[in-house]
Amino acid sequence: MGNIYKLKCENGDYEKSLFLGAGMRYPGFNGSYKAAFCKKCNDFTEIMVNHDKNDEPVGGTKCCGSQEDFVRIDVEDTENEELTCPICGGRILVNTDGSWD
C-alpha cells in the first residue's frame, strides 16, 4: 500500500497529489514510487526506483518518461527538504491524503 501526498503552494496557486510508495515487487525486483521534480514539465511527478539497487531510478518520470531531466525530492521529509512552487516560487506545504494500492 502506498501513500498519497498532497502538495499545495502556500499562496494557493498550485496543487498536486503524488502517489508514492507501493509499487512493484517480484523476485529480483523490489521497487516503489518516489517523488521527483521534472525539469521538462516544471512540475512535480513520480518515478519508480529499485530498492535492491540502492534506489536507482527505473525508467523515467511518470509525466513524460524523461530519464535525465528530473531531480529526486523527498516529500516525506519536508523538515529537511524545502520544496518550492513551480509557479510562484512560494513554499510548498505537504500533507498526507490517504492511501492507495
Which residues contact Zn ion (rule: CB under 5 A)?
A: 9, 11, 13-14, 38, 40-41, 61, 63-64, 85, 87-88, 90
CB of 92 to Zn ion, least distance (A): 8
**Which H helix or E strand runs over 53?**
none
Within 8 A by CB and 6+ apart from 77, the residues are none
For Zn ion, which is the closer residue by CB, 24 or 88? 88
For Zn ion, which is the closer residue by CB, 17 or 30? 17
CB of 71 to Zn ion, least distance (A): 12
Q: What are phi and psi of 51, to 5 degrees?
A: -70, -25
> What grid cell was written down for 55?
534506489
